[in-house]
Amino acid sequence: MNRIFLIVITILTFSKNSFCQKDTVFYAKDKLKGLGNLIENKEDGFWTYWYLNGVKNSEGSYKLGIPVGYWQNWDTLGRIVCKLNWKDGLRHGALIEYDYVKNEMKIANFREDKLEGKAEWIHFDGYKILDGSFKSGLSSGDWTWYYPNGNVKSKGKFAAGKEDGVHTWFNEDGIVIQTVKYKKGVPIE
């Protein structure tokens, strides 16, 4: 009985090690860079990467070397900078980015590696900076920028990533200070 058990364990171990192995990637000086599984010398399953200073850089999953599913990225100080979904190696689904220089969070969506649909930027203090939308990766439709007090700073329409139609700028009290009409990104008035 013990001999049969040992043979089964040996076969299972050999099979697993033949196709899937844990891999560790190092920077120079034996600093850990990445850890995850390899199948046919390609990243597969959950992987974690670190910066040279030892702070986590990113983590997410691969399917035979192609990013899939939910990924997170951090800056060298350990602050989250991006949450993103991948499908078959393309950015697909919700995106949240954090910009610690501008103190803002960007929320958008990807479809097949192009920005698509509603997008908004929100200041870390809670007020909305802008909202708009994308179509096939380009600014499209109505876009509005806001002052910290919530009043509209400017607004206008975009088509195929270019200003199209009337764009209006306001002072912080909501009074119009400038209006420009555009056609395909070129001012016409």
> What DSSP assignment string belongs to 99-166?
ETTTTEEEEEEEETTEE-EEEEEEETTS-EEEEEEEETTEEEEEEEEE-TTS-EEEEEEEETTEEEEE
Q: What is the dihedral of CA 150, 152, 154, 159, to 10 degrees?
A: 90
The pLDDT value recorded for residue 27 is: 66
Q: What angle do CA 63, 115, 69 make, to 5 degrees?
A: 20
Query: Which pLDDT score, from 0 to 100, does residue 77 have?
Result: 97
For position 24, what pLDDT does the model report? 66
pLDDT of residue 31: 80
- The rounded distance, in Å, linking the Cα atoms of 82 and 61 is 15
CA neighbor of 131 nearest in space, from 154, 97, 160: 154
Asked if 70 and 83 touch (Cβ cutoff 8 Å), the reply is yes
- Report how far residue 151's alpha carbon sits from residue 168's, in angstroms, rounded to the nearest whole number: 13
Residues whose CB falls within 8 Å of the CB of residue 160, separated by 6 or more in sequence, listed in order? 135, 138, 140, 184
Positions in the chain short of pLDDT 70: 1-24, 26-29, 189
DSSP 76: T
What's the rounded Cα separation, in Å, for the pair 75 and 117?
27
Q: What is the CATH number of domain 40-187?
A: 2.20.110.10
Q: Is 171 helix (H, G, I), strand (E, B) or coil?
A: coil
